[in-house]
Amino acid sequence: QLFLNLFSNASDAMPEGGELSIQIKTIDPQTIHLLIRDTGVGIPPEILKMVMEPFYTTKLEGKGTGLGLSISRRIVEEHGGTMHISSQGLGHGVEINITLPAHATHNDVSASLIDE
């Protein structure tokens, strides 16, 4: 669900096409870092702090509910991680930085996100 939301937003932000890049690396044995970048329309600074709030959307009526980014943030936080969105403004695309623990406990089931 996390990636579906993020990739769908990136696609919507690049109606004429563009590039979506995904980088995944381990920072240390305990931490995974994901960097997702698009070359879409970007986010103006005045609304950047609001885009992860529930029901906030810049999409036309009927095109979005404004829940995708808030749900994505919740998913990351439920797995013990953080999610930050940045943009240099209109015309400069978006970067999403996600940090997750390499070993997470979710719903009382221990899960490893990387091989040991």
**pLDDT of res. 65:** 66
CB of 85 within 8 A of CB of 51?
Answer: yes
Torsion of CA 25, 101, 85, 63, to 10 degrees: 100
Task: Give residue-wise pLDDT tens across range 10-37.
Answer: 998 898 999 999 999 998 889 999 999 9
Q: Is this model's pTM higher than 0.75 or not?
A: yes
Residues in the chain predicted with pLDDT less than 70, given as ranges, are: 59-62, 64-65, 104-116
**pLDDT of res. 109:** 43
CA distances from 9 to 17, 31, 55, 105, 111 (A): 13, 25, 14, 28, 28
**pLDDT of res. 52:** 83
